[in-house]
Each structure stands twice: as structure tokens, then as C-alpha cells.
């Protein structure tokens, strides 16, 4: 296992080398101006700048063990089938797993009060607000459970390929509920791919992640496998291409995500949202 004392162990891999064509990298991300409320404005500015440049940023050890335990325990109850609160259509199982193992639980903040509370956590909100502005709204949430030995891959994709919003000012906060390494299928990002715009996706055939990128513009880009300790968070832009490999380790790699929207984001196609659109404000007066 990689040494996680270096929280951002960025293993650089060439994923394709057969085509050297390159597209101009033009930023489409226009973060809202916002007051820096972090006690360390210099590091807050650095975090936002890194995010804007790279399309993702790691927040090492953001959450303490005492903040994580209630969430981690709650997730384990769901994963062991001990909670009947999750609607059947929110759950995806690992294909062929026997007994069936949960791969994803989507929109978990809607039925888990513990997860909903974490989505409002000031440590997370203060960083996300610096990037997206205020008032911040929560679009969605989800668990990528990546169970030991049977957790399957997530194909290379941009989240925006799934989402009916404009402008493209959303980000995901991926929270490591376990140490996340190459062996257990950490998330891998293509730095600066958010500057390429929305890429062409095709059906992937993978339950829970039905789309995968099929676009020459990612050919030859470097990939960073982001290894982090439990309690670390990784923010990624809604256009940043990312994927993860199967879990080959004997330990799980649970990642919980919250998706936040800038105040400018509007729903473009309500038919793509299950149920009544409800994007709660998570900061400001109603947060
Ligand atoms: O956790 C993973 O393996 C993939 C996460 C992902 O695709 C996402 O956060 O959008």
C-alpha cells in the first residue's frame, strides 16, 4: 500500500498515447466572486486557484474521526441491509455479487438525516462557498461503496454528461470514509480536463455509471490517481474527467459525495430529475 503520509500521492499514468492531437484549453469555469471567510485567506485563495487550474483539489484530513464516525457507522448500517429507509430505486448492486453487495446508494441525504447533516458541515461549506459563491445549494448526494474484492470500476466520465443544468458551475465533494489507494480503487482525475468543455459520452453498460467518455480530446492526457486518508475530501469540477478502477484489495473503499450548485445554476430539463426538484440551500439564512 502506498504511504499515505503524503496525502496527495499523485501517481501519474499515461492513459493513452496513440494520438497527440491537442485541443486548446479554454476555461469555461467562471466562479462567482465571494468573500473569503476562511480564517486563512491565503490558503483559501490557493485552494480556489488550484481548483480552477486543475479541476480538482484535495483537502487532506478535513474531517476528524469524531466527525466521521457517525456517518461511517450509518453507511455501514445501510450497506448491511440494516436500514429500510433507502428506496429500492436508489440502490445499485455490484453485478454478479453473491450475496448481493451494494455498489451505490444515490440521493442518500434525502433519507439519512446523518448524511444530510454532513452536507451542511461548515468545514466543507466554507471551502465550497469560496469556489462557487453563495447561497450554495445541494443538488445531490451518493455513495460509491466499492466493496472489498468485488467493487467494480467506474468508467471515465464527466458528471455534467448526466446533469440537466446550466451554467456548468457545480462541484462534487468526495469524502473518503476509508483510506483510498490504488489497490482499493481510488478516484483518478485528468487534470485540466474541465477546460475542454462537455466531451462526447457513450453508453458504458455499467450499472450505476451508464455513460463513459468516447472523445479524442482526452487522448494522451495524464491521469492522477489521488490517494487519500479517511477523512480527506476531494473537490472536483462537474466537467473534470474522472474514473476509478476495481477494488482488488481485501478492504472496502467507501466514498460519499455531495454535489453543490452555484447560485447561478438553473435546471434546463426538469424531466431529467426524479420527483419534484428540491435543491436545498446549505448555507446562508436557510442553511
Ligand atoms: O468513487 C468513485 O469511484 C467514483 C466517484 C465519481 O464518479 C464521482 O464522484 O462522480
Q: What are phi and psi of 87, to 5 degrees?
A: -65, 145
Any idea which residue has 445501510 for its cell?
78
Comparing 43 with 55, which gets the higher pLDDT?
Answer: 55
Nearest CA residue ID for atom 3, ligand 1: 244
Cell of 46: 490557493
Instruction: Say what the pTM is.
Output: 0.86
> Which ligand 1 atom is nearest residue 236's CA?
9
The gap from C-alpha 102 to its chain's centroid, in whole angstroms, comes to 18
Decide whether any atom of ligand 1 lies within 6 Å of the 244 Cβ.
Answer: yes
Which of 244, 248, 254, 256 for mutating ligand 1's site (highest number of atoms within 8 Å of CB)?
244
**pLDDT tens for each residue of 87-135:** 999 999 999 999 999 999 999 999 999 999 999 999 999 999 999 999 9
**Looking at the domain that runs over 9-144+158-233+242-286, which CATH code has it been given?**
2.60.120.620
**pLDDT tens for each residue of 249-276:** 999 999 999 999 999 999 999 998 887 8
> Which ligand 1 atom is nearest residue 142's CA?
9
Residue 28, SS3 per DSSP: coil
- Angle (CA) 240 245 248, round 5°: 155
Decide whether any atom of ligand 1 lies within 6 Å of the 154 Cβ.
Answer: yes
Decide whether any atom of ligand 1 lies within 6 Å of the 255 Cβ.
Answer: yes
> Which ligand 1 atom is nearest residue 244's CA?
3
Decide whether any atom of ligand 1 lies within 6 Å of the 257 Cβ.
Answer: yes
DSSP 8-class letter at 115: H
Decide whether any atom of ligand 1 lies within 6 Å of the 191 Cβ.
Answer: no
Amino acid at each position: 500500500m502506498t504511504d499515505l503520509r503524503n496525502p496527495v500521492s499523485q501517481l501519474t499514468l499515461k492513459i493513452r498515447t496513440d494520438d497527440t492531437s491537442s485541443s486548446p484549453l479554454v476555461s469555461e469555469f467562471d466562479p462567482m466572486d465571494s468573500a473569503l471567510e476562511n480564517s486563512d485567506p491565503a490558503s483559501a485563495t490557493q485552494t480556489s486557484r488550484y481548483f480552477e487550474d486543475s479541476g480538482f483539489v484535495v483537502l487532506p484530513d478535513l474531517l476528524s474521526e469524531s466527525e466521521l464516525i457517525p456517518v461511517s457507522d450509518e453507511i455501514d448500517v445501510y450497506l448491511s441491509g440494516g436500514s429500510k429507509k433507502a428506496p429500492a430505486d436508489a440502490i445499485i448492486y455490484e453485478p454478479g455479487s453473491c450475496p448481493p453487495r451494494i455498489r451505490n446508494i444515490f440521493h442518500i441525504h434525502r433519507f439519512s438525516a446523518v448524511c444530510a447533516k454532513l452536507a451542511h458541515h461548515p468545514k466543507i461549506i466554507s471551502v465550497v462557498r469560496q469556489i462557487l459563491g453563495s447561497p450554495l445549494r445541494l443538488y445531490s448526494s451518493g455513495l460509491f461503496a466499492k466493496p472489498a474484492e468485488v467493487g467494480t470500476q467506474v468508467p471515465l466520465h464527466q458528471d455534467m454528461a448526466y446533469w440537466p443544468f446550466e451554467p456548468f458551475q457545480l462541484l462534487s465533494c468526495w469524502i473518503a470514509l476509508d483510506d483510498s489507494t490504488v489497490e482499493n480503487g481510488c478516484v483518478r482525475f485528468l487534470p485540466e480536463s474541465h477546460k475542454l468543455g462537455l466531451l462526447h459520452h457513450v453508453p458504458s453498460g455499467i450499472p450505476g455509471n451508464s455513460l463513459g467518455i468516447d472523445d479524442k480530446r482526452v487522448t494522451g492526457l495524464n491521469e492522477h490517481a489521488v490517494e487519500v486518508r479517511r477523512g480527506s475530501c476531494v473537490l472536483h469540477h462537474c466537467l473534470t474527467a474522472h474514473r476509478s478502477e476495481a477494488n482488488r484489495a481485501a478492504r472496502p473503499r467507501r466514498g460519499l459525495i455531495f454535489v453543490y450548485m452555484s447560485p447561478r445554476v438553473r435546471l434546463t430539463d426538469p424531466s431529467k430529475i426524479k420527483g419534484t426538484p428540491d435543491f436545498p440551500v446549505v448555507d446562508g439564512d436557510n442553511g
